[in-house]
């Protein structure tokens, strides 16, 4: 009897529609109904039929499901996927470093080599306090018995006079002014010629006569006979720069607003390499020092280095042989080699700075 089943065209031969249905079922599972199938039975000798009694050729080899891609999406290439993995790994490393370091701090803070040894040796050399700045500096020029606002005014004037002037000349000029009554009212009443005679021979004395008169008038009118109590306001006065301003804040107001850097300090910090690169003027040196120097040392820096520069680290022919830093000073060996040729040459000459 001939089969009339709609699923077979001949005995043992599936119709095209039935074959497609079976392919759809077996694609998601193995031929044995499990999670994985084997397509080797079609290749082995004697494997002519499957479990259902159908020819093995009717069962397609099992295939893994293809990844589903949404319309409009494109599959990333290997290069793009690897790049994304590298970026993610780099981001993880950066976050780990930020977590390990306190917020706002860099991984490493620059400091000069041997600077603490330099500092302690200079302190040792300055302990006798017998440099000109110790007996005739700005802290010794004002009348300590006068009213507070008068004392502050005298501190301001002494530092205005000290620019480009040796301490003993400034001290003598301040003594003459005090003998004539150094108050704002007296300076405003004084003739320019008389004021010039009293402060001569300080450097640029004619300009300083003009600055003193202008500044005194401003203080009388705008500050009620006192001096400004902030560094920004002090620097607005005629003839007052950062070096004077920070020293006035320290002496007159007992407020350390910054490091006072004059030519002595500027010269020494460059010789000791206390700056990352050579600075061209005192203000550059001040900014470079304040980047790394502990703030508790700022108030001592000017007094310490000015006296050291007056006695040992001179502008010309510094006395390196008697300096406690001669073995660790970056520029001392070259200077000592002039008198001792056996010393190895230094890479940097000892600069002759004024």
Q: Which of 208, 243, 273, 333 is catalytic?
A: 243
Cα 137 from Cα 82, distance rounded (Å):
69
Contact between residue 288 and residue 275 where contact means Cβ atoms under 8 Å apart: yes
Hey, which bits of the chain come out as E strands? 8-10, 13-14
Cα 61 from Cα 44, distance rounded (Å):
14
Q: b/e per residue, 99-129, with b = 16+ CB within 10 A? A: eeeeeeeeeeeeebebbeebbebbeebbeee
Q: What would you report as the CA-atom Rg of the chain, rounded to the nearest whole angstrom? A: 44
Nearest in space to 349 (alpha carbons), one of 265, 252, 249, 278? 278
* Beta strands at 13-14 and 8-10: parallel, antiparallel or unpaired: antiparallel
Nearest in space to 331 (alpha carbons), one of 316, 311, 349? 349
Q: Could you tell me which residues are beta bridge partners of residue 55?
A: 49
| Active-site annotation holds for 243 | yes
**Quick one: tokens of 153?**
């005014």
Cα 175 from Cα 142, distance rounded (Å):
9
Cα 15 from Cα 346, distance rounded (Å):
100
Contact between residue 202 and residue 169 where contact means Cβ atoms under 8 Å apart: yes
Catalytic sites, residue numbers: 243
């Amino acid at each position: 009897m001939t089969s009339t089943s709609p699923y077979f065209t001949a005995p043992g031969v599936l119709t095209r529609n039935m074959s497609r249905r079976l392919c759809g079922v077996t694609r998601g599972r193995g031929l044995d109904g499990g999670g994985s199938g084997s397509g080797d039975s079609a290749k082995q000798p004697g494997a002519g039929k499957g479990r259902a009694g159908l020819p093995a050729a009717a069962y397609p080899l099992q295939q893994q499901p293809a990844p589903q891609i949404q319309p409009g999406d494109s599959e990333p290439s290997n290069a793009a996927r690897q790049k994304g993995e590298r970026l993610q790994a780099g981001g993880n490393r950066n976050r780990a470093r930020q977590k390990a370091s306190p917020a706002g701090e860099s991984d490493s803070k620059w400091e000069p080599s041997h600077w603490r040894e330099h500092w302690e040796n200079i302190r040792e050399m300055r302990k006798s306090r017998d440099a000109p700045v110790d007996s005739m500096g700005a802290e010794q020029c004002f009348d300590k018995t006068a009213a507070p606002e008068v004392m502050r005014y005298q501190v301001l004037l002494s530092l205005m006079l000290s620019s480009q002037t040796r301490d003993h000349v400034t001290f003598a000029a301040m003594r003459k002014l005090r003998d004539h009554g150094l108050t704002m009212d007296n300076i405003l009443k004084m003739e320019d010629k008389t004021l010039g005679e009293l402060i001569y021979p300080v450097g640029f004395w004619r300009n300083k006569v003009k600055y003193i008169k202008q500044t005194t008038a401003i203080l009388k009118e705008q500050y009620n006979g006192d001096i400004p109590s902030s560094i920004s306001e002090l620097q607005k006065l005629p003839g007052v720069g950062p070096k004077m301003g920070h020293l006035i804040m320290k002496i007159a107001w007992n407020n350390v607003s910054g490091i006072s850097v004059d030519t002595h300090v500027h010269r020494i910090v460059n010789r000791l390499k206390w700056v990352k690169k050579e600075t061209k003027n005192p203000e550059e040196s001040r900014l470079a020092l304040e980047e790394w120097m502990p703030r508790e040392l700022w108030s001592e820096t000017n007094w310490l280095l000015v006296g050291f520069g007056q006695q040992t680290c001179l502008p010309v022919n510094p006395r390196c042989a008697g300096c406690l830093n001669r073995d660790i000073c970056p520029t001392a060996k070259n200077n000592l080699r002039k008198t001792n040729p056996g010393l190895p040459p230094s890479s940097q000459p000892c600069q002759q700075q004024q």
